[in-house]
Structure 1
Amino acid sequence: MPGNTQVINQRQLCWLVGSLLIGGGLLSIQHELVRVAHMDTWFVYLLPTVYILFIAYVFAQLSMRFPGKHLFEINFILFGRWFGMLANALLLIHLWFILLRDLRMFGKFIGTILLPNTPEEMLVLLLVVMLMFYGRASAEVISRVNDLFFPVFFALTLLLPFLLSNEISFRLLQPILTTSPLRLGYGGLLSVGWYGDIIIAGAFLHMIWNSRQIHSALRHGSLMATALLSLFLFLEVAVLGPNIPANLLYPNYSLVQHIQITDFLDRMDLLILSIWFPIIVGKMIFIYLAFLIGIASLIRQRDYTLISSPAGLFLLLTTILAFKSTPEVFSFGNYSSPVIVLSYQPVLLAAMLLLMRRFPKRNPEHHEEGSSEKKQGHDRTGMSKGGNRHPGKRLGTRLGAVSSRTWLRTGNVLLALGFVFVGAGLLFSRNYAVIGTLAGFGYALVLALLLFVTHMEMRKAKDLAARSAPNSARTS
């Protein structure tokens, strides 16, 4: 049965988190963010990133105390039968709303861009049939599909500044950080509604036994999403200006339509769309599997394959009947999502942090982490004494000798430094424009360094898991 056998690795969880957050950000929210924060809109994802890191910490603590359990099962253990069922019901309602939102938004995107003459009901039907098909498979399947497309998407997004270099005008970004802090805060709150989708990752905690890997994967995946979405907003303003994207339904698609490589490669948007499509679809499948896992947990089962068809039919019916017009869909997705997320998630997570203290930490790698890191540092020190004369290898050895806690603290310090740059720019850039420019460069540098630091944190967690696995096997 899929519920009993499926396992995903650390990298797959990281890339699934990236697809989950980026898939939502590409659909509709970005034009609202430009409307709220104007030319400084590429700073708004800093606030929801902090919220994501808090959720990653809670999930890591839960995994340490309840290895092999997913979020819905943990709720029953922490809150008891009835309150646990109430907590799971809130999560399921949220997942249902997310699926309604994404199915209608993606259906309208396909109907507007690709198939304008196809009825929207038929597009939603095809999407739901696809969800029902993957609902009979395991999370391993969509993880492997995502492994194929997400690296290509990541590389393609990093290439966008070079592909659009002849269209970029930095004058459109200036003056930097002169928008009021209140507007940036509003943009951050809107983004929290979409970043709150990360709660879905809790349905897959049982597929990775190592809590350190869960923590690092969620951190790196969320920061990859923040960096890429911030890059999209940066390019939208630098290419289209601060006013045009706010009035476009899909500014990301309009952005890539400006890519022209010579005179005969002027429809690069179709190629890029073929990479975007699996990312957005993968996000919906990821959410649908979490929805099925949650329903199956209500009857204390992990095999969700039997309920895929009835759940899909229910989803099809409610999706078609939920909204009457396009403005209703986008208003619900952009303005109701923050209200839904903030109405229950902070309270639920805080209650989990309080109640989990009654249970001891049972994940074995944390008991052996200190000794493993000391041993690893001793081995690498001894190896460096052996006369390794290659600078690249010496640098890699020194980076590998850094402990996981050091990488974690470095990432937190960098994130705090990002707030310092943004705060300094907001305070002084109205009088000294150069300070705003320097703050913008500093913020971009912080995002780049955060990607590197969290990547090293993931590598360290993988090494520690490999070292602790034989020891835990001997102990058992």
Structure 2
Amino acid sequence: MPVNTQVINQRQLSWQVGSLLIGGGLLSIQHDLVRVAHMDTWFVYLLPTVYILFIAYVFTQLSMRLPGKHLFEINFILFGRWFGMLANMVLLIHLWFILLRDLRMLGKFIGTLLLPNTPEEMLVLLLVVLLMFYGRTSAEVISRVNDLFFPVFFALTLMLPFLLSNEMSFRLLQPILTTPPKQLGYAGLLSIGWYGDIIIVGAFLHMIWNSRQIHSALRHGSLLATVLLSLLLLMEVAVLGPNIPGNLIYPDYSLVQHIQITDFLDRMDLFVLSIWFPIIVNKIIFIYLAFLIGIASLIRQRDYTLINSPVSLFLLLTTILAFKSTPEVFSFGNYSSPVLVLSYQPALLAALLLLMRRFPKRSPERHAEQSSGKSQGHDRDGTSKGGNRHPGKRFGSRLGAISGRTWLRAGNMLLALGFVFVGAGLIFSQNYALIGKLAGFGYAFVLALLLFVTHMEMRKAKDLAARSSPNSAQSS
């Protein structure tokens, strides 16, 4: 099937975003976040989540005004030939740095924990061969692979509090929200460097035709990553304490090593690694495909399979020569990534917002939303349509009657409420420990509600897309 005709659905994009954001947090940034924010480190992902939502809004507006185009093509359209090429070159350099960082970090991880006697160059070579294999496919293939592992990873992460219940001590989390706000801000800026990887989703905008689906998928995927990463940080502090994880290279791996089920299942870390590894590799492959799409766009092509082999060999050479030691890899990944992201992404996104106004919005889902409002009206007897046929689904029908904009506003209000909880805790918990505890519980409850609200937003966007599709229009 030609590359330019392949698509991914809304759910696959949201899970792909979750894998993209989680993949970096599992290997590198966690110990630095604990070192900066101590026992309050599980609050630091609130700030980068807002940054992700801003990028989701920009991508949605781009897809509404320039449907069927990915970010590299949009740069040429909005900035012109030369400035568009300059913007694409900046993006490609950033993607190149991300690939160097992730390939070397994954090689260090495998060489340290699994294959200590294997030369690191051979590990990187095997990873590049894997990239070369998937470089002949598309995002559709890697998204289907991610469909197999991400649900298992999600369920396994949610089970960690139960698996580690005998090792946890909530006293290690207290006092809650007593870390200086400046340190929480610094930790949030560090995590923005890893969340900035979301810019690569722009390379796949042409694979989803409905802008509402892009928006809801990015929001739900980012909330999935925020919830899971925050839970991992919470468990690290509750099990290992506020100081030990900051001195460990891989605190997440040390955390799962504490899982012990009875006396004969004491190496659960090997099973967990078998789930983590595909998630991390999936992220690198996804970035590599975006890198290939960007290079192919420089010659106005979408078929990137011809440049797959030389690009992968270039990555192999530069990855091996890029770093001399492990501290260099971690310093580059954790402290250079925020500088790279904040040096160009805000300016690029602001310029895109200004220049896209020349193009009118072309959103078929607006008509679908109006028609859905009519179809979800009430009969003369005051009951909803189909209510008598399915009385057991009355509550679900009521949720389905809520519009997508209402779910969107509810999600934004919940996010603002999360900031209120954190702010109240930072202000009053120094003198009143109970307020800090209540703020922590409120923040966790807000994250759980955000998962539900963004999931409902995705379902609503899917329904609207189905109604606005040409096939549904013909059938109606």
TM-score greater than 0.5 by the shorter chain: yes
Corresponding residue for residue 292 of structure 2? 292
Corresponding residue for residue 108 of structure 1? 108
Q: Partner amino acid for 1:26?
A: L
Deviation, structure 1 residue 282: 0.3
| Distance of aligned partners of 1:445 and 1:391 in 2 relative to their CA distance in 1, 3 Å threshold | farther
- Greater CA deviation, 386-395 or 429-438? 386-395
Deviation, structure 1 residue 4: 1.4
CA distance in 2, matches of 1:322, 1:447: 39
Residue 430 (1) aligns with residue 441 (2): no
Corresponding residue for residue 453 of structure 1? 453
Asked if the contact 1:372/1:464 (under 8 Å) is kept, the reply is yes
Corresponding residue for residue 265 of structure 1? 265
Where do residues 172-321 of structure 1 align in structure 2 (5 Å cutoff)? 172-321=172-321
Deviation, structure 1 residue 453: 0.1
CA distance in 2, matches of 1:358, 1:378: 41
Asked if the contact 1:257/1:269 (under 8 Å) is kept, the reply is yes
Asked if the contact 1:380/1:401 (under 8 Å) is kept, the reply is no
| Distance of aligned partners of 1:387 and 1:23 in 2 relative to their CA distance in 1, 3 Å threshold | closer
Q: Deviations over 1:218-276 (max 9, x none)?
A: 00000000000000000000000000000000000000000000000000000010000
Where do residues 259-408 of structure 1 align in structure 2 (5 Å cutoff)? 259-378=259-378, 384=384, 388=388, 392-408=392-408
Corresponding residue for residue 6 of structure 1? 6
CA distance in 1, matches of 2:136, 2:373: 41
| Distance of aligned partners of 1:470 and 1:381 in 2 relative to their CA distance in 1, 3 Å threshold | farther
| Distance of aligned partners of 1:188 and 1:381 in 2 relative to their CA distance in 1, 3 Å threshold | farther
Asked if the contact 1:136/1:308 (under 8 Å) is kept, the reply is yes
Q: CA RMSD in A?
A: 1.6
Q: 3-state DSSP class of the match of 2:185? A: helix
Asked if the contact 2:142/2:285 (under 8 Å) is kept, the reply is yes
Q: Deviations over 1:151-176 (max 9, x none)?
A: 00000000000000000100000000
Corresponding residue for residue 157 of structure 1? 157
| Distance of aligned partners of 1:380 and 1:421 in 2 relative to their CA distance in 1, 3 Å threshold | farther
Deviation, structure 1 residue 297: 0.3
Corresponding residue for residue 18 of structure 1? 18
Unpaired segments ≥5 residues, structure 2 = none
CA distance in 1, matches of 2:416, 2:374: 28
| Distance of aligned partners of 1:445 and 1:86 in 2 relative to their CA distance in 1, 3 Å threshold | same
Q: Partner amino acid for 1:257?
A: Q
Asked if the contact 1:2/1:138 (under 8 Å) is kept, the reply is no
Corresponding residue for residue 145 of structure 1? 145
Deviation, structure 1 residue 3: 2.5
Corresponding residue for residue 95 of structure 2? 95
TM-score normalised by structure 1 residue count: 0.97
Deviation, structure 1 residue 384: 3.0
Q: 3-state DSSP class of the match of 1:408? A: helix
| Distance of aligned partners of 1:381 and 1:374 in 2 relative to their CA distance in 1, 3 Å threshold | farther
CA distance in 2, matches of 1:187, 1:363: 38
CA distance in 2, matches of 1:328, 1:391: 62
Deviation, structure 1 residue 6: 1.1
Q: Deviations over 1:420-469 (max 9, x none)?
A: 00000000000000000000000000000000000000000000011111
Number of aligned residue pairs: 475
Q: Partner amino acid for 1:4?
A: N
Identity %, equivalent residues:
87
Q: Partner amino acid for 1:239?
A: V
Corresponding residue for residue 421 of structure 1? 421
CA distance in 2, matches of 1:421, 1:472: 44
CA distance in 1, matches of 2:389, 2:111: 60
Q: 3-state DSSP class of the match of 1:178? A: coil
CA distance in 2, matches of 1:206, 1:388: 42
| Distance of aligned partners of 1:255 and 1:77 in 2 relative to their CA distance in 1, 3 Å threshold | same
Q: 3-state DSSP class of the match of 1:306? A: helix
Residue 58 (1) aligns with residue 92 (2): no
